[in-house]
Amino acid sequence: MSSPASSPVWQDEFNQPAGSGPDPAKWVHDLGDNGWGNKELQAYTASRENSFIVDDPEATDGKALVLRAVRTAAGGYTSARLKTLGKFSTGYGRIEARLKLPKGQGIWPAFWMLGDNINQVPWPACGEIDVVELIGHKPGTLHGTLHGPGYSGQHGLTKTTVLPGGASFSEAYHVFAVDWQPGRIEWLLDGKVYHTVTPADLPAGTKWVFDGARHFLLLNLAVGGAWPGYPDATTQFPQEYRIDYVRVYGPKF
């Protein structure tokens, strides 16, 4: 396993004034309501109703970014999806975030990465690394997944880990990370590896597309979708996904 270099090569501590939006020098809002290939229900906006900084005593520096999913008066949903495409991308090293995840039927928060060549090399050939996914009706179960050509969607290389004692990821912040090095990607929860993928783990005849690649970062809070299912009478709104920080450390093999 690699260990991260001592200082981040890129980071966002989300320590700007409460009520302000994500730093536009670091993040771009993905906008729209097209279902995003997963039959999701939300419209992603750039509104402060859906993404904003808050004071949070549980966050490292007392500030956190909130992605908020809201039910509209018309019965639809709005939320936020942020990406660093065109601002920052990385290859190898440790990519980590300290997060508090929401829960509820049909709620789907994620922290993930896509190949920054996606506009030239369409998904899944560009590669996708899902650092964190959670489906809200299983609030104590973390999913880490690798997608590439021939192993994508429901055939992605995934593994789960479960918090002990029936605990939920909505109850406290946890640190989620991947260590990415040539020929190997490891997923960590609170510093402990729970999933490893190498080229030897790929389905026969498929290609490892993660060496020499660069990926951009994404944060989003989806509502509904073919995988998590859809909100029901038990689902409370608004839902809040809190991000204490995102840090990227260069490789130190």
Using an 8 Å Cβ cutoff, are 236 and 111 in contact? no
13, 40, 96, 128: which one is catalytic?
128
Annotation says 240 is catalytic: no
Sign of the Cα torsion 110, 115, 121, 127 reads negative
Annotation says 49 is catalytic: no
**Coil/strand/helix, residue 13:** coil
Q: How many CB atoms lie within 10 A of CB 215?
A: 25
The Cα 91–Cα 210 span in angstroms is: 8
40, 96, 133, 186: which one is catalytic?
133
The closest alpha carbon to 28, from 73, 96, 87, 68, belongs to 87
Q: Residue 124: is the preceding peptide bond cis (ω within 30°)?
A: yes
Active site residues per annotation: 128, 133
